[in-house]
């Protein structure tokens, strides 16, 4: 018998099935307990401090009660608070990134993924360094500054040396005014030694989706290959942090298991990282299973509606207010619109999910990882964000200034975001507008920047940011940051 212990380093003790079952029972019993729900909502609400604002977050039990609650007015209240938290800590800035698929060779047997080893009709591809360079040039020409690299698990075709070489190539390409300034990495669970190598290579966030926290389902969904090992996979973030990576990104692949179980597991995982390493996850992603070659999402019985999806996002926002939230082009424009309001702080744009997809004229389907719902170009996404009052940001300053892990969290809590992240967002948006945008996007963008500059409280910072933006407009000087 295992006991629940958030401080344990053993997967089955910090993601404890008994504790999750008990949480689900407690949530079900209390889902209409209005005094309790009101108290939890009150706890989640941002509180004013002398320097700005603070938020307590929620425990996995409290957050699970909210997720179970089906009272429409209380759900509306959750959404209002989620929006308040989002605005307090992330403002109206939305960070943009793109995935870059390096290789779809894979030795695992994941039942939901088209890259599974038994899929014989998918075209297997692995980029050469020259192809990586060409993909990066194409991404820079779109205006991207931040990538998430993706690869299957294959120790022969995609060993860590290959991933490291690709990272080096990506950072070395400077096409015109372009540069990739932050490379996040989404590769299979690995050793402390390899995480250390990734850290030394200058990665931003290490992202690994748990897929499901339910051990039995996990083992069934990953019948073969190294990914079958639930403990090795679930303990990966601890090894990453031991290897010096302090920005890690969690995620669940919604649709595989019951969402309430996954939600409790996800929040427990965040609590575990905080308890052991003193810092919670940098980001949480919320992918849903999509149709893909050899994959029919209807094979899994736990698909969730758009309404439940929105509720999950809002409840994550309330539970872990300082964690960034990511949504990909798996989701449509309309789903993304609501998600932005409820707490999402990063989105991908102009994505291609196939190996070598950015250098192909037509969207290729033969090596795609999943169908992309949002097929708009980056420029269209940028324009759409601005028309909705959001500021598209290409900022990568924090990690390059060493503000990772708890230092990033301190910035979040200090109330200095408007004097730091806000000008950085405006300066990087200016770079995008000058170097890559269409005329219409440029017009909307510079109008927005003029208004938004006025929101920088510190006069000195405001003046410096204004000067830098003039520099960007009239010279090739780039990469200013606070
Ligand atoms: N191979 C690495 C691993 O196993 O963690 C990471 C890269 S994998 C290319 C990235 C993620 O895509 C997976 O973790 C999974 O959650 C997601 N994914 C796989 N198949 C999917 C599908 N059919 N629909 C949506 N997302 C999918």
DSSP assignment of 99-120, as one string?
Answer: EEEEE-------TT-TT-TT--
Query: What does residue 349 show for φ and ψ, rounded to 5 degrees?
Result: -145, 140
Containing H/E element for 69?
Answer: none
| Pocket flag, ligand 1, residue 186 (CB < 6 Å) | yes
Report the alpha-carbon distance of residue 274 to residue 406 in Å, rounded: 10
Span from the CA of 372 to the centroid of ligand 1 (angstroms): 13
The count of C-alpha atoms lying within 13 angstroms of the C-alpha of 72, restricted to the half-sphere facing its C-beta, is 0
Span from the CA of 156 to the centroid of ligand 1 (angstroms): 20
Span from the CA of 113 to the centroid of ligand 1 (angstroms): 6
Residue 101 has pLDDT above 80, yes or no: yes
Given this model, what pLDDT does residue 415 score? Answer: 67
| Pocket flag, ligand 1, residue 227 (CB < 6 Å) | yes
| Pocket flag, ligand 1, residue 154 (CB < 6 Å) | no
Nearest by Cα to 184 from 248, 234, 243, 231: 248
Instruction: Kindly compute the dihedral angle of the four CA atoms of residues 424, 429, 432, 433, in this order, to the nearest 10 degrees.
Output: -140
Residue 409 has pLDDT above 80, yes or no: no
Query: What does residue 372 show for φ and ψ, rounded to 5 degrees?
Result: -90, 125
Report the alpha-carbon distance of residue 362 to residue 399 in Å, rounded: 34
Given this model, what pLDDT does residue 68 score? Answer: 98
Span from the CA of 154 to the centroid of ligand 1 (angstroms): 14
Query: What are the pLDDT digits (tens) for 204-250?
Result: 999 999 999 999 999 999 999 999 999 999 999 999 999 999 999 99
**Quick check: 55 and 84 in contact, CB under 8 A?**
no
Specify the residue for token string 């509306």: 76
Report the alpha-carbon distance of residue 328 to residue 313 in Å, rounded: 13
Given this model, what pLDDT does residue 74 score? Answer: 98
**Quick check: 199 and 243 in contact, CB under 8 A?**
yes
| Pocket flag, ligand 1, residue 289 (CB < 6 Å) | yes
Mean pLDDT score of the chain: 95
Q: Tell me, what DSSP letter sits at residue 402?
A: T
The count of C-alpha atoms lying within 13 angstroms of the C-alpha of 218, restricted to the half-sphere facing its C-beta, is 24
Query: What are the pLDDT digits (tens) for 147-169?
Result: 999 999 999 999 999 999 999 99
**Quick check: 168 and 205 in contact, CB under 8 A?**
no
Span from the CA of 188 to the centroid of ligand 1 (angstroms): 10
- Ligand 1 atom nearest the C-alpha of 292 is 23
In 41-120 the beta strands, taken as DSSP E runs, fall at: 47-48, 53-54, 93-103
Q: What is the mean pLDDT of residues 394-419?
A: 84
Q: Give the residue, out of 112, 113, 159, 229, with the most ligand 1 atoms within 8 A of its beta carbon, to mutate for a pocket test.
A: 113
Helix/strand/coil for 3: coil
């Amino acid at each position: 018998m295992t006991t629940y212990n958030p401080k344990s380093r053993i997967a089955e003790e910090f993601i404890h099935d008994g504790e999750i079952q008990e949480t689900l029972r407690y949530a079900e019993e209390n889902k209409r307990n209005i005094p309790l729900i009101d108290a939890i909502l009150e706890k989640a609400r941002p509180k004013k401090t002398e320097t700005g604002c603070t938020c307590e977050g929620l425990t996995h039990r409290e957050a699970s009660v909210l997720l179970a609650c089906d009272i429409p007015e209380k759900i509306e209240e959750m959404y209002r608070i989620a929006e308040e938290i989002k605005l307090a800590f992330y403002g109206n800035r939305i960070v943009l990134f793109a995935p870059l698929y390096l290789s779809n060779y894979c030795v695992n047997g994941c039942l939901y993924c088209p890259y599974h080893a038994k899929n014989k009709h998918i075209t297997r591809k692995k980029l050469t360094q020259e192809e990586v360079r060409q993909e990066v040039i194409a991404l820079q020409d779109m205006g991207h500054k931040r990538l998430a690299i993706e690869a299957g698990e294959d120790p022969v075709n995609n060993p860590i040396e290959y991933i490291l070489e690709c990272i080096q190539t990506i950072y070395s390409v400077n096409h015109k005014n372009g540069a990739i300034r932050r490379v996040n990495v989404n590769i299979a669970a690995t050793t402390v030694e390899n995480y250390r190598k990734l850290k030394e290579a200058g990665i931003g966030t290490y992202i690994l989706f748990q897929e499901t926290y339910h051990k039995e389902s996990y083992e069934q969904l990953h019948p073969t290959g190294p990914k079958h090992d639930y403990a090795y996979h679930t303990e990966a973030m601890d090894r990453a942090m031991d290897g010096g990576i302090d920005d890690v990104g969690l995620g669940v692949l919604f649709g595989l298991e019951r969402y309430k179980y996954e939600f409790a597991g996800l929040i427990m995982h965040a609590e575990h990282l905080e308890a052991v390493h003193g810092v919670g996850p940098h980001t949480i992603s919320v992918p849903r299973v999509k149709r893909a070659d050899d994959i029919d999402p209807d094979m899994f019985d736990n698909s969730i509606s758009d309404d439940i999806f929105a509720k999950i996002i809002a409840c994550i926002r309330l539970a872990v207010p300082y964690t960034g939230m990511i949504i990909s082009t798996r989701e449509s424009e309309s789903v993304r619109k609501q998600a932005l309001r409820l707490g999402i702080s990063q989105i991908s744009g102009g994505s291609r999910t196939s190996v070598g997809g950015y250098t192909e004229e037509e969207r290729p389907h033969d090596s795609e990882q999943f169908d992309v719902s949002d097929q708009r170009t980056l420029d269209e996404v940028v324009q759409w964000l601005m028309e909705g009052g959001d500021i598209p940001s290409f900022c990568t300053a924090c990690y390059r200034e060493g503000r990772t892990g708890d230092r990033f969290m301190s910035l979040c809590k200090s109330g200095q975001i408007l004097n730091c992240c806000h000008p950085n967002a405006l300066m990087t948006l200016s770079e995008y507008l000058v170097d890559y945008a269409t005329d219409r996007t440029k017009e909307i963008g510079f109008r927005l920047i003029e208004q938004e500059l006025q929101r920088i409280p510190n006069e000195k910072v405001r003046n410096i940011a204004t000067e830098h933006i003039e520099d960007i407009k009239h010279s090739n000087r780039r990469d200013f940051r606070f």
